[in-house]
Structure 1
């Protein structure tokens, strides 16, 4: 009986986190409520609060859960940049963390937590993988490119662009990421 209860709790927590990622990435921190997340997860707001303590606790857990593993940032960088573009364009779940970060900026407490988690789980490991002297700077440059790309391609789709133009924007993004990853190849 105890094992079944624990398994159900894990399943419920996973449903809550999935619902929170969906809500925070679609409507932002300030426009997402505990009741909305609970309804999306098919549970009660009381249970959400029992597991995560508060809306900000839920946001932190959802953001941590949505952050990708950055061990894949390694040469050959052209392949990485191409795969990154494809993943961000085609995989909706891959963009949750970026949209959650971008849309938390209007709420001080959420922005502070987003900055802390993003630094810990993205800037520091990607910067270390890229190495000195400017790995952290290049990690942030890639993040700036990525968040902007995701925001305009996925969250705020500009319908004036046809498929060919969207492909051109994706090619630009891929090349821009590659320029950050291989700064010695840049034209100054």
Structure 2
């Protein structure tokens, strides 16, 4: 028979998970719109609807919160489980059809003003995108191809969402989408030739 403290413990765990999630959601919003330097722990806590002391309790510091937020938003591995012959289509769908696709890139770009946050961004880009992508691509030139894909995608997202250029507006997005799918797939297929 369960003791009287077990239900309370389960409730506390759910509340802790909900609080942690609310803090990470708020941090992601603020880090991707205002940047690391211009985001304070109090503002994150306020947006999350929690006491600012909880941010320190869960993440240790603002840098710990940034690291946890990056850990949450940057991960290419789910896309690497799909059909290799459809990778261009699937990857571009993830970029274009996902409202938050530019958020991680914005977080990384906006972290450049702080050396520690910038180092975290570079680390996560390397460990969560470039390295797994290179392993998945395989020889020849696995790292070079992974880098070229990253350049292609970040260039597109920057020109479409962060520093929008008119030719990437809705009227031309379909043709740009087809081009990006083909360009992505061509780099993936270089190893199959």
Match for residue 70 of structure 1 among 57, 77, 80: 77
Q: Secondary structure at the match of 1:36?
A: helix
Matches within 5 A, 1:126-145: 126-145=133-152
1:117 corresponds to: 124
**Structure index of larger Rg:** 2
Figure out how many residues of one structure are paired with residues of the other and give that number. 186
Deviation, structure 1 residue 159: 4.8
Tell me if the contact between 1:74 and 1:129 (Cα under 8 Å) persists in the aligned partners.
Answer: no
Q: What TM-score do the two structures reach when normalised by structure 2?
A: 0.85
Runs (4+) off by over 6 Å: none
Single out whichever of 147-156 and 108-117 deviates more from structure 2. 147-156
Tell me if the contact between 2:168 and 2:176 (Cα under 8 Å) persists in the aligned partners.
Answer: no
1:155 correspondence with 2:162: yes
Tell me if the contact between 2:80 and 2:136 (Cα under 8 Å) persists in the aligned partners.
Answer: yes
- Structure-1 separation of matches of 2:106 and 2:42: 21
Q: Secondary structure at the match of 2:50?
A: coil
CA distance 1:176–1:103, change in 2 (3 Å): farther
1:91 correspondence with 2:102: no
Single out whichever of 91-100 and 117-126 deviates more from structure 2. 91-100
| Structure 2, unpaired ranges of 5+ | 1-7
RMSD: 2.2
1:11-35 per-position Cα deviation (integer Å, ceiling 9, x unaligned): 1001111111111112222222212
Deviation, structure 1 residue 80: 1.5
Tell me if the contact between 2:32 and 2:104 (Cα under 8 Å) persists in the aligned partners.
Answer: yes
CA distance 1:8–1:76, change in 2 (3 Å): closer
Deviation, structure 1 residue 71: 4.5
